[in-house]
Structure 1
Amino acid sequence: GTGISPFIYTQNSLSLSVLFWGFFSSRYTVNTFFLSFYHVFTEPTFVSASWVQRTDDPDNEKIYVFFREKNSDHNREADPLISRIARVCKVDEGGSKRFFQNMWTSFLKARLVCGIPKESLYFNRLQDVYVMHADNWQDTRVYALFTSNWNSTAVCIYTIKMIENIFENSKFKGYNNNLPTPRPGTVRTLLFNIVKDHSEMADWVDSDPFYISTNNYTKIVVDRVQAADQRFYNILLLATGIKFRFLSSFAQKTLIVGSAERITAVNLQSCQEYSKSCEECVLARDPYCAWTNDGYSRNKFSLISLIALFPFSPPFLSFLQEPRNRTKREIPPLSSVHLRTVHSVPQGVPFYLSCPIDSYHAEYTWEQKGQKSPCLQMLTNCLHLIPSMSQEKYGTYRCISEEKDYIKVVGTYELIENQDPKKCSKSNTPDNWNAAPALIPEMTWITLLLALLIHSRGNA
């Protein structure tokens, strides 16, 4: 209906329960009426709205709205958009028929700032907000996702106590006279003109970035998990260019990801991916999974942070609670399970070795006769290029990964000299690279050849 839904489905709008529908209407009684405040906005783009409940004082509950609007500062160096937070009383039904009919009487707004003032670094464009409610309403946290002009992303955290401090104590922008008692924006008063003409706070609600990334994230969801050390940790889930929503159930936690074409449910507890060994499970640092002496588990006590708090050794497993009805199994250490391949290669031919990349958090190196060389990473493979086989190039090569002081031998390769070129192991020679798509994807063939060419010239 008019005033409730936007004219087109792509137009930005908000909805918040049946008591606060959209940002332009309120249904607090049987008769629906619309409260308008277009005069306090400048080309707004609404991002989110949240109703923060106060069990000890329900009549004083507030609704907070997060939005972007056009910046009135026309300075060339100023960002054309600024972010704001607005507050309105939940019980605000608008003014009387004589004064400010169909208009909010408690509406206030303040600038929402995320940045590092000392470095003149600001993220001015609010993209998304996630509100994590607490038992004490003042401890409720607002996780706000911002972007900058150069498409960097930052997450800033605000508490409702911080926000309320600005609305309750800040001066009104552009108003220099003494304020009446009680303060405008808290209860009805005949001096509604102050709220109407000076609804913006002079002080800003500001915070330093909690997280900064060069990725252009647009959506944020925050979850809370309990770790093996009994402490609670907040998990940030960020997305680029898609819409998602977090749904939690007793059985499992699911992330609902939506786009214009489809909606997908992503299980956040895919612990079976780390079923090979304890090392693999812990190094994954998946906050939704844990490892016990009987295997992986979707335990509520996850291993988050233990990899950073303790050395990588089995003793910390004693912190975990073992799940019931699980079959115990013996699994050899991951460091002892690796590939061993023998290649017979004649002298004078180029050759390469490849081992799989199990973790992108690890650092991979090649070792041969005590000498270490860096890994040439090609998507899911770690390569070692040999421009021309010579006597000193033969021997044993080991592909080694190191992550958080945990060292693992991923693969061992033996290169032996072949006196008969007709019986050469050609699977890893340039002439037969096209026959090994599993080792080198098509898009990397040219890159690999160029790398080999550059490396060969450098050693000429």
Structure 2
Amino acid sequence: MSQLPIFLWVEKNQSVRYASLLHNSPVECLQNLPLWNLQCGVECSPFPVCIFVGEKRFRFDPREDHIVLYHEQGAPSVFVGTVGRLHYYNFEDSTNFTVLIETNRALSKCKKQENAKNYLTLLEKYEDRLLVCGTNACSPTCWNLVDRKVERGISAQGLAPFAPDQNGLVLIDGKEIYSTIPKHQYNGRTLRFRRIRGSAVLFTSVTVMNNPKFVKAAIIKQEEAYNDKIYYFFREENPDWPKNAAAPRNVSRVAQLCKGDKGGTGSLSAAKWTTFLKATLLCVDSDTDRHFNQLQDVFIVESAKWSETRIYGLFLNEWEYSAVCVYSVGDINKVFQTSPLKDYHKKLPPVRPGQCLEGEQRTPQETFTVADSYPEVARRVKQEDILYHSKHRYQQIGVHRALAADGGTYSILYLATDRGTVHKVAVLPTGANNVLEIQPFLSPAAIRTMTLDSERKQLFVASGSEVVQLPMAMCGAYEHSCESCILARDPDCGWINGKCTSVYDHDQHGKGTLLQALTHNPVTNICSSPSHSTAKGDDSQHCENMPVAPGARYYLNCSIKSHHATYTWLHDNQAVAHCGSGHRHCIHFIESMTDELYGTYSCVSQEDWFNQTLVAECLTKPSKVRMQLKEPRNTMAKDRATQTYLSLWPGLLHMAAVILLTH
């Protein structure tokens, strides 16, 4: 468990409800921070040191420029493949080891010297062993991990690229392996989807995809085994674009293959996938008619009933705004079964293109010819819902289905941004609510990979410097007040026994009722405490005396905690400044101190029915005795000292305020 300096930071113009904990920004006193799951001392210092409860990390030494991560659901450990190294770390007992899998540069077959390394690109369980595959200086090789050592494994042809390649996709199902990785180093740019191990080798035709960028592949099993499908998701260049300037240059697709495909009856189709069809994935905001055409990532939430399995797609548009759209496998399957083929106007053959056949039957040549020439269906797959859209550029998505205290099940999205943070978005009946922003790393870094463990309720995030395990329930972020906890509307958290508590901890150890309000606006007395006052301010809070010289400038600063609240600075209970949620701080600036400006200033936040005073300062005149203690002996010196006192200190305050507003 790591000891870390804690800082507060909120990005401008975002819809995140609560601030995150970052490690690179101006710090405030510990008591004023919305810290999540912390055990800290009470001393306020420029760099307070705290311990995160539940957060653990494993650091790489040296920094790694290439990362691939493997985590098995329910396990407390991870494997991380880098360049020439395989790392293992157990977050439960802190055991770890590193295995060197380096290459002999003298035997390199690489044209580019930078590729003459062993980039580990695949870590997966295969035949009850960890399969490790890498580029091995342009001679792809696979190993098995046995007793903390590696030994040569199966052939790496099609399993590892010849050089680092972000477009490779490998899918393992039992003894069968599917891949998009080229089998030969110089076989052109044509990419195919292959079955390379298990049943007979099959590959897609060169004409059915147009410069694809692969995203994800999955196997969906149906009631009848012969109807089991492989779905894979990709982007490709739009064939309609040159003819239609209004069409997008790239289009997102879902392709289907019958897992039991035996190939065709003709010589040209015997080794081909004969059940390939593809459809366009639509992700459209109906309110604005804004289209999101660039699929970035996919997360699949399986259901006991195959048709109810959900596909969560993360998309970008031309302005790099993001959206999350959800699809059902049942709808995708129906499109492939019932849609006509695009631009095909003749009668379909008796065996319909894309139809799965029982037993050892092969697809007739007539059916293959039609499907191979017209692989796209006319109907597009429409989203069930656009769950969430944002001006942030998200790169990866994870989805957890949380069982809340009210008995309902809610989707929680974990979205990795391009700035190294993770947004936690709760999908509620009232809409998607961005409840928290998380900075997982000790210093700002790009997120290389992210994975969820829904069994252990943990999130794993890796950068080039470290891999971090975080609890999904970070309830301490919502402060130690019932109102903040309830208003967060985080399905993972509820209020009981005087603190904001994880629903998972309460299920295991708790007694009593966990308070939540996820499906409606809570009544104002839900917390049964006097802090629901609807008054503008709370003067009972301790007021800190701050002497300010007449004529001096002064900044009053109040950190924004909840981005669903409004903030007001009051002077003797009269409003003098209002702040929305678009900034990190609510600042009231006094240009020149006069007699009528002295008095009590308080910063009050209001969210729904909950008001609270966050900061209170009493601005007073410095005592004459104190001013005379350091009175200069001559008038000229006195004038210089007074000028310095009145101008230098406010100047420093001005610089501090600029830093607070711009960082």
TM-score range, shorter chain: 0.7 to 0.9
Q: Which runs of 5+ in 1 are unaligned?
A: 318-330, 449-460
What is the aligned partner in structure 1 of residue 37 from structure 2? none
Superposition map of 1:143-158 within 5 A: 143-158=312-327
Counterpart in the other structure of 2:159: 4
Of 403-412 and 353-362, deviating more is 353-362
Which residue identity is paired with 2:544? T
Instruction: Give the residue type in structure 1 aligned to 2:179.
Output: G
Equivalent of residue 14 in structure 1, options 157, 169, 176: 169
User: Residues 190-339 of structure 1: matches in 2 within 5 Å?
Assistant: 190-191=365-366, 192-207=368-383, 209-241=386-418, 242-248=447-453, 250=455, 252-274=456-478, 276-300=480-504, 305-306=517-518, 308-314=520-526, 338-339=541-542
Q: 2:384 aligned with 1:384, yes or no? A: no
Contact 1:124 1:148 (8 Å CA) reproduced: yes
Give the secondary structure class of the aligned counterpart of 1:314: coil
> CA offset at residue 306 of structure 1?
3.0
Report the Cα distance in structure 1 between the residues aligned to 2:578 and 2:646, rounded to whole angstroms: 18
Partner-residue secondary structure (3-state), 1:16: strand
CA displacement 1:395-444 (0-9 Å, x = unmatched): 222210112221001122222334639549x9x9763257779x947734
Number of corresponding residues: 427
Amino acid at match of 1:354: N
**Counterpart residue identity of residue 281, structure 1:** C
1:38 aligns with 2:38: no
The sequence identity of aligned pairs, in percent, is: 33
What TM-score comes out, normalization by structure 2 length? 0.58
8 Å Cα contact 1:227-1:303 kept in structure 2: no
- Equivalent residue number for residue 43 of structure 2: none
Q: Are 1:365 and 2:568 an aligned pair?
A: yes
Letter paired with 1:199: P
C-alpha distance in structure 2 between counterparts of 1:77 and 1:429, whole Å: 62
1:316-355 deviation digits (Å, cap 9, x = unpaired): x9xxxxxxxxxxxxx9969878442112334332222233
Could you tell me how far 1:226 is from its partner in structure 2? 1.5
**Aligned equivalent of 1:393:** 597
Q: Which runs of 5+ in 2 are unaligned?
A: 1-155, 181-192, 358-362, 419-446, 508-513, 629-641
Partner SS, residue 21 of structure 1: strand
For residue 410 of structure 2, give the secondary structure of its aligned residue in structure 1: strand
Cα distance between partner residues in 2 of 1:224 and 1:120: 29
CA change 1:400–1:240 in 2 (3 A) is same
Aligned partners of 1:61, 1:421: CA distance in 2, in Å? 88
Corresponding position of 1:182: 351
Corresponding residue for 2:336?
167
Match of 1:458? none
Amino acid at match of 1:348: G
What letter is aligned with 1:151? E
Does the C-alpha gap of structure 1 residues 369 and 436 become closer, same or farther in structure 2, counting only changes over 3 Å? closer
- In the aligned structure 2, how far is the partner of 1:296 from the partner of 1:229? 16
- 2:255: which partner in 1? 86
Greater relative CO (CA pairs within 8 A, separation 6+): 2
Q: Deviations over 1:218-270 (max 9, x none)?
A: 211111112222111101111123343333255x4222223455433222223
1:392 and 1:356 map into 2 onto residues whose CA distance is 26
CA 1:245–1:431 in structure 2 vs 1: closer, same or farther (change >3 Å)? same
Distance 1:35 1:361 in 2: 52
Read off the aligned partner of 2:321 and give its amino acid letter.
Answer: S
The question of whether the paired residues in 1 share the 8 Å contact of 2:585 and 2:660 is answered with no
Change (3 A) 1:223 1:64: same
Q: Which amino acid aligns with 1:16?
A: L
Provide the rounded CA distance (Å) in 1 between the counterparts of 2:377 and 2:623: 84
- Asked if the contact 2:480–2:498 (Cα under 8 Å) also holds between the matched residues in 1, the reply is no
Partners in 2 of 1:237 and 1:305 — Cα distance? 21
Letter of the 1:361 counterpart: H
Q: Does 1:432 align with 2:637?
A: no
Residue 380 and residue 183 in structure 1: after superposition, are their counterparts in 2 closer, same or farther (change >3 A)? closer
Aligned-partner Cα distance in 2 for 1:86–1:6:
23
Look up the SS of the partner of 1:39 in the other structure.
coil
Separation in 2 of the partners of 1:408 and 1:119? 37
Question: Residue 69 of structure 1 aligns with which residue?
Answer: 236
Select between 178-187 and 414-423 the one with higher mean Cα deviation. Answer: 414-423
